[in-house]
Amino acid sequence: MPRTDDARRAVHSRRLFLQAGSLAGLGLNLPQLLAARSAETRSPAANSGRAKTCILLYMTGGPAQQETFDPKPEADPETRGQFAPIDTNVPGVRICELLPRLARQAHRCAIIRSTWHESDVHGVGVHYNLTGLKHAPRASGEPQLDRRDPPCIGGVIRQLRGDRNGLPAAVHLPVRIGDQNNVQWGGQHAGFLGPNYDPLMLIDENWLPGEPMPGSMLPKGVDERRAAVREELLARFGASYAVRSPQEEAHDRMLRQAFDILHSSAAFRAFRIDDERPETRARYGDNKFGRSCLVARRLVEAGVGLVTVPWMHLFSPVATTKTPNFDTHFKHFDLMRDHLCPPADQAFAALLDDLAERGMLDETLVAWTGEFGRTPKINGNAGRDHWGKVYSTVLAGGGVRGGIVHGASDRNGGAPAESPVHVTDFVATIYHALGYGPTTRVVDVAGRPHFVVQGTPVRELF
């Protein structure tokens, strides 16, 4: 039976009491909770950026700060790289010669050279950079996906903003963030918010971004009428089960999502690039990363709140050439010069130019990060190893002031020497640009509130 108004109020009061009690241990009492809720609905985070959307470029493996945004030509011989710094279009700001296109975009970028965290483990770094928070404890090994974990930024955005215009509020493409040993590290879904808020993940390795998505078109010989009959039959069959297992619920959720895609075919045109000019497609690069960045621009243009674009393993558009990620323990300099930096430089620069030309950059935050940086010392395999003690991140657009460098690393690029920015603060800065702050609250599957913005934003960037 439907609950009466009195019953609804009683349930609400009881839930609020329980929430307030659970927060008391954190130093937040009921009046503070109510004030925080009121502040959330009245205004965004104070002095926040202008971003309405965000594109997160995730460089899987952890790119070397020395060969990207923090060159060290005066470093000690055992740490000095093979590449020279070049001038950018901002006087006094120099980056690695492997990024010539981004050197011409420095006026739009805020480079943070002092980002850090306390781990050299891939899975920990992935989770940190995608959520801004520590993962839930594990018995052993690197953290894989787990519903006990805090949510990724995309999961938070999807709960707070909701899906719009027939599209999910958060999308992740074209591949999972993982490697040959770990299919998918933790931090890539909505965690304890539940699967309803997971970003839509497009991770078919045979899919070429910009082409029709796998499963987004009706099969040959099946028209809309036949598809509607099939959908109705599935719904009747599913309704015959009063109790469903978690696996059945997950399967039903995937079915609903698939039908949503079929019913919103016009909205899902945003995933295709066949109507883009050939010059635009060439500008980004005809590879999975470049094409994904172009799709990301189309998605935020269509109203998606956050698009995560991880570096891909398969570089060739016909998926015949294996390309490593930025985990360059071996032949680091060859890989950075020949395979990794050129397409990353091209696509990142093209994205910034394209957004600016369309009048979208002021309201679109573009972020660059990976799980960590690389060691100052060059190992015996001409490689650099994992290094969470300092690395470079970049923000552009969305109200961020361009043409600046925040923080600095030491002579050899081994530790922050000025204005250290913990990764929690880096992610808090992303949230800040999007209008969220320490009072922003999300609710887990059990109805418990969580404040997911735990760091301090770098306000000097705005």
What integer pLDDT is reported at residue 299 of this predicted model?
97
| Range in 35-44, 176-185, 318-327, 416-425 the model is least confident about | 35-44
CA distances, 427 to each of 111, 130, 154, 236, 457 (Å) = 14, 8, 12, 44, 8
What integer pLDDT is reported at residue 33 of this predicted model?
41
pLDDT tens, residue by residue, 117-126: 999 999 999 9
Percent of the chain with pLDDT over 90: 69
What integer pLDDT is reported at residue 309 of this predicted model?
97
For all residues of the chain together, what is the average pLDDT?
85
pLDDT tens, residue by residue, 174-218: 989 987 677 799 999 999 999 999 999 987 777 889 998 665 555
What integer pLDDT is reported at residue 362 of this predicted model?
97
What integer pLDDT is reported at residue 314 of this predicted model?
45
What integer pLDDT is reported at residue 418 of this predicted model?
98
Q: Is the pLDDT of residue 320 over 80?
A: no
Provide the β-strand partners of residue 395.
110, 367
Q: Which residue has the higher pLDDT, 165 or 62?
A: 62
What integer pLDDT is reported at residue 49 of this predicted model?
72
Determine contact, residues 46/347, Cβ cutoff 8 Å.
no
SS3 353: helix
SS3 303: coil
Q: Judging by DSSP bridges, how do beta strands 391-396 and 109-116 pair with one another?
A: antiparallel
Q: Which residue has the higher pLDDT, 359 or 245?
A: 359
pTM of the model: 0.83
Q: Taking the CB of residue 132, how many other CB atoms lie within 10 A of it?
A: 26
Rounded CA-CA distance 151/107 in Å is 32
Burial of 289 (0-12, 13-18, 19+ CB in 10 A): buried
pLDDT tens, residue by residue, 371-397: 999 999 999 999 999 999 999 999 999
Mean pLDDT value of segment 321-342:
89
Instruction: Give the count of alpha carbons within 13 A of 267, CB side only.
Output: 16
Would you list the DSSP string of 158-199? Answer: HHHH--BTTB-SEEE-SS-S--SS-SSBTTSS-GGG-GGGPP
pLDDT tens, residue by residue, 53-112: 999 999 999 999 999 999 999 999 999 999 999 999 999 999 999 999 999 999 999 999
What integer pLDDT is reported at residue 350 of this predicted model?
98
| Range in 217-231, 390-404, 434-448 the model is least confident about | 217-231
Residue 31 banded pLDDT, cuts 50, 70, 90: very low
What integer pLDDT is reported at residue 179 of this predicted model?
78
Instruction: Supply the DSSP symbol for 339.
Output: I
What integer pLDDT is reported at residue 32 of this predicted model?
45
- Most confident option among 34-43, 178-187, 278-287: 278-287
Mean pLDDT value of segment 225-240:
66
Please report which residue ranges of 272-312 form alpha helices under DSSP H.
278-284, 288-301
Question: Which segments within 29-178 are labelled E, that is strand?
Answer: 53-58, 85-87, 94-96, 109-116, 170-172
Q: Judging by DSSP bridges, how do beta strands 306-310 and 53-58 pair with one another?
A: parallel
| Range in 273-277, 288-292, 313-317, 362-366 the model is least confident about | 313-317
Rounded CA-CA distance 315/321 in Å is 6
| Range in 24-33, 199-208, 383-392, 430-439 the model is least confident about | 24-33
Mean pLDDT value of segment 215-226:
62
Burial of 137 (0-12, 13-18, 19+ CB in 10 A): exposed
Rounded CA-CA distance 190/123 in Å is 16
Residue 116 banded pLDDT, cuts 50, 70, 90: very high
Determine contact, residues 308/254, Cβ cutoff 8 Å.
no
What integer pLDDT is reported at residue 22 of this predicted model?
38
What integer pLDDT is reported at residue 245 of this predicted model?
73
Mean pLDDT value of segment 328-346:
96
Q: Which residue has the higher pLDDT, 193 or 250?
A: 193
Residue 247 banded pLDDT, cuts 50, 70, 90: low
Determine contact, residues 374/387, Cβ cutoff 8 Å.
yes
DSSP run (H or E) holding 308? strand 306-310
End-to-end CA gap in the chain:
52
Reading the block at residue 107, the tokens are 């006026």
What integer pLDDT is reported at residue 30 of this predicted model?
42
What integer pLDDT is reported at residue 267 of this predicted model?
78
Determine contact, residues 362/381, Cβ cutoff 8 Å.
no
Reading the block at residue 358, the tokens are 């369309």
Q: Is the pLDDT of residue 455 over 70?
A: yes
